[in-house]
């Protein structure tokens, strides 16, 4: 995995980087939210995961996540999917941690770094991505096979019914895209 690590305290960042490299991941380390945003905005950066500190001068971890979602390549999910974000923090302020989870962090880890918890959190995120992608691919394959069988067998009534169901599902997806990103000029 290609991972971006963000921490304004170099020593803390190096601990995380060292552990990730020990797990054979490619790691980029930066010392600020602004530097992280520049890395994420770079064409071809393609990070699989971002691990960021919460409390940093300038742009904190929460602002980094928010600003990343507004980058053009992530705003249009067809171009690039936003990588999961893990928050690694010394903060024990429950309200702030709940706010972070609601903002979209996939996981929250408390400092000092717990290597086992880090690996578990990363494994969970990877398994969620793989499961989702596998399920989506299997579903699309099943729909293609069903359409193929309808055509081969000449079932016009089944074709009409299936087309109706698919049209309703696609309309639901289009409505979702329009609600989530009203400025997007998404066309089928």
- Last residue of a domain, which of 110, 128, 146? 128
How much is the pTM?
A: 0.68
Domain membership flag for residue 134: no
> In terms of domains, do 86 and 168 share one?
no
Domain membership flag for residue 138: no
From residue 104, give the alpha-carbon distance in Å to each of 15, 52, 75, 138.
25, 13, 14, 27
pLDDT tens track, the chain, 188 positions: 899 999 999 999 999 999 999 999 999 999 999 999 999 998 767 888 999 999 999 999 999 999 998 888 777 655 567 889 999 999 888 888 889 989 889 888 998 888 888 888 888 877 776 556 666 667 777 777 778 777 877 777 777 777 777 787 777 777 767 776 666 665 55
Report the C-alpha gap between 74 and 83 in whole angstroms: 9
- Whether the bond into 112 is cis, omega within 30 of 0: yes
Helix 94-103 with 61-69: angle, nearest 10 deg: 10
Give residue 125's pLDDT. Answer: 77
Give residue 77's pLDDT. Answer: 59
Report the C-alpha gap between 113 and 19 in whole angstroms: 10
Task: Tell me which residue range forms the domain holding 170.
Answer: 155-188
């Amino acid at each position: 995995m290609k991972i971006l690590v963000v921490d304004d305290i170099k020593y803390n960042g190096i601990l995380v980087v060292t552990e990730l490299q020990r797990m054979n991941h490619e790691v980029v380390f930066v010392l600020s939210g602004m530097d992280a945003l520049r890395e994420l905005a770079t064409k071809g950066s393609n990070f699989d995961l971002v691990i960021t500190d919460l409390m940093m001068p300038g742009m904190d971890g929460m602002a980094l996540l928010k600003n990343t979602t507004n980058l053009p390549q992530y705003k249009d999910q067809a171009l690039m999917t936003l990588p999961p974000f893990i928050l690694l923090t010394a903060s024990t302020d429950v309200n702030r941690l709940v706010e972070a989870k609601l903002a979209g962090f996939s996981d929250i880890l408390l400092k000092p770094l717990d290597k086992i918890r880090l690996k578990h959190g990363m494994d969970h995120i990877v398994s969620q991505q793989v499961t989702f992608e596998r399920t989506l691919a299997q579903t699309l394959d099943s729909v293609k096979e069903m359409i193929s069988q309808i055509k081969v067998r000449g079932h016009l009534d089944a074709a009409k019914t299936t087309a109706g169901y698919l049209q309703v599902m696609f309309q639901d997806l289009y409505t979702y895209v329009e609600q989530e990103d009203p400025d997007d000029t998404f066309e089928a």
